[in-house]
């Protein structure tokens, strides 16, 4: 795979991005949680700049995607890249597309002076875990992810101090 096989998505491709998000959610057994729309993605990704998307290409067609955004490490004193989603169409796996996406993300992190590239993986997803370990990724065993969303987020976000 050459570097030309990965490119940034454009605002006109939000339907393709949403399709990849939906297929990833099905794979992760979370399809009932997808409420995103192509219009909402266009606004949050391209108008507001909250995230960026790369496509892996085969014969010029998107066969995988990576959605990422910047976070920040106070310990490093540098920005980082957080990979929210990585998905390659099952019919195109094993051809280097996932590695090409992660390699491009690492290149972007280095180009932008970032201190790290990180992501989360479901504990049952052994094929992905094995793939990440083969690239030299390390699991962060001492850390747990916490989340506030939905009604609790609304209660906290509208609470007057």
Which residues are catalytically annotated? 132
Q: How many residues does the chain have?
A: 161
Q: What is the 3-state secondary structure (H, E, C) of 19-87?
A: HHHHHHHHHCCCHHHCCCCHHHHHHHHHHCCCCEEEEEEECCEEEEEEEEEEEEECCCCEEEEEEEEEE
Q: How far apart are CA 36 and CA 51, in angstroms?
A: 14
Spell out the residues 6+ positions from residue 42 whose beta carbon is closer than 8 angstroms to its own. Answer: 11, 14
Nearest 5 degrees, angle CA 37-CA 83-CA 158? 60
41: tokens are 């993605």
């Amino acid at each position: 795979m050459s570097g030309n096989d990965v490119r940034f998505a454009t605002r006109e491709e939000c339907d393709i991005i949403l399709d990849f998000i939906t297929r990833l959610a099905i794979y992760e057994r979370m399809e009932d949680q997808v409420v995103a729309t192509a219009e909402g993605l266009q606004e949050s990704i391209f108008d507001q700049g909250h995230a960026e998307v790369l496509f892996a290409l085969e014969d010029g067609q998107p066969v995988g995607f990576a959605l990422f955004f910047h976070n920040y490490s106070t310990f490093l004193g540098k920005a980082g890249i957080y990979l929210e989603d990585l998905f390659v169409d099952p019919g195109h796996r094993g051809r280097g597309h996932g590695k090409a996406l992660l390699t491009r993300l690492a290149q972007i992190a280095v180009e932008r002076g970032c201190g790290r590239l990180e992501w989360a993986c479901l504990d049952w997803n052994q094929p992905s875990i094995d793939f990440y370990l083969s690239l030299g990724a390390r699991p962060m065993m001492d850390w747990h992810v916490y989340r506030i969303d939905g009604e609790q987020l609304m209660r906290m976000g509208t609470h007057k101090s």
